[in-house]
Amino acid sequence: MDPEFFEQLAMPLFDSLYNLAHWLTGDRIDAEDLVQETYAKALKGFRSFQEGTNLRAWMFRILRNTFLTSRTGLMARNTLSLEEEAEEAEIRSAHAITPESVLLQSENQQIVLDALGALPVHYREIILLCEVEEMSYREIAEVLSLPIGTVMSRLSRARNSLRDMLATRPPARATI
């Protein structure tokens, strides 16, 4: 597409992209670098962007891939691969926790956001795309370059993991 349209199409995504970037990097400076690089790459590749396809998914994918190749992203990726293997066993244990004990915690926004920030990056991003960006599974699959089935299973594991974290916290307000 003509780069002339880039500004009017890409700028409305600015706040969302920044928010995700900050959640992924956990740091303002890193988030700004990530967003800036994302816009630079998107502008460069904008001619190859097909009109009528999903610009939001396209830009989020650029941001996410840029993050994964960045310093913080590489570190996060290394820790995840181990984690995903051990995951299946954990799913079962999550169900042992009664919903009632989690409910109280899950109503506390700050506790939930703290838990979200502590999640491994692949869980954090898929939850953000689903719950915050309210993307469909299909869109998430596009952003993460994954089959839809993998999106569903990873999302489920991510939620269980978040639930676990809420359940293992003391019911009192978190002090971290």
Partner 1 sequence: MKNCDCDAATLAQYLDGELPSDQANRMQEHIGDCPHCAAEVSVLVSMKRSLHAANRHFTPSAEFRRKIQQQASRPRSKWKPRLVWAFAMLAVIFAFSVVWLARPRRVDPFSEVADLHVSALASPNPVDVVSTDRHTVKPWFQGRIPFSFNIPELVGTEFALLGGRVVYVNQQPGAQLIFMVRQHAISVLIYQEPSGFSGALTDGNVERHNAFNVAAWKVQNLRFMVIGDADAAEIRKLAQMMRRANE
Is residue 123 near partner 1 by the rule CB under 8 A?
no
CB of 53 to partner 1, least distance (A): 19
Contact between 56 and partner 1 per CB under 8 A: no
> Quick check: 54 binds partner 1 (CB under 8 A)?
no
Using the rule CB under 8 A, is 109 a contact of partner 1? yes
- From 49-57, 65-73, 102-110, 168-176, span contacting partner 1 (CB under 8 A): 102-110
Residue 39 sits in the site that holds partner 1 (CB under 8 A): yes
Shortest spacing between CB 140 and partner 1, in angstroms: 10
Token pair, residue 170, equals 């003391």
What is the C-alpha separation between 90 and 167, in angstroms, rounded?
13
CB of 51 to partner 1, least distance (A): 16
- Give the rounded distance of the alpha carbon of 127 from its chain centre: 5
- Residues that bind partner 1 in the complex, under the rule CB under 8 A: 3-4, 6-7, 10-11, 14-15, 18-19, 22-23, 28, 31-32, 35-36, 39-40, 43, 94-95, 99-100, 102-103, 106-109, 111-113, 116, 127-128, 130-132, 136-137, 152-153, 155-156, 159-160, 162-163, 166
